[in-house]
Amino acid sequence: DAGVTQSPTHLIKTRGQQVTLRCSPKSGHDTVSWYQQALGQGPQFIFQYYEEEERQRGNFPDRFSGHQFPNYSSELNVNALLLGDSALYLCASNALVWDSSDTQYFGPGTRLTVL
């Protein structure tokens, strides 16, 4: 049973560029959340997708956008990259049940470096 997978594992971009990160949820999961983890910090919630719609969003600017596909996989897009966007980007998946939720399981992350 495959867990959460993410690609690529590492990425180097320059300021002003755009980046797309990808995530495949754990088998049986329909909800995907994205988190940003700066070095030495805990993950910060970016947004969550369920039924191909953004359901909840953290305190991140509109430069951060996402998408969920019919097969539940998801993409995170970041436009106009800033140096401060350098971080580990984590994808988590769970099976969302009405008024409750299963545990979120995390992928290995994508390390983004902005130069």
Q: Which amino acid is present at 105?
A: Y
Please count the residues of this chain forming the interface with another protein, following the rule CB under 8 A.
Answer: 30
* Window of 14-22, 62-70, 71-79, 100-108 that interacts with another protein by CB under 8 A: 100-108
- Give the footprint of another protein on residues 33-92 (CB under 8 A): 33, 35, 40-45, 48, 50, 55-56, 58, 90, 92
Buried b (16+ CB within 10 A) or exposed e, 89-114: bbbbbbebeeeeeeebebbebbebeb
Closer CB to another protein, 20 or 106, in the complex? 106
Q: Which amino acid is present at 96?
A: L
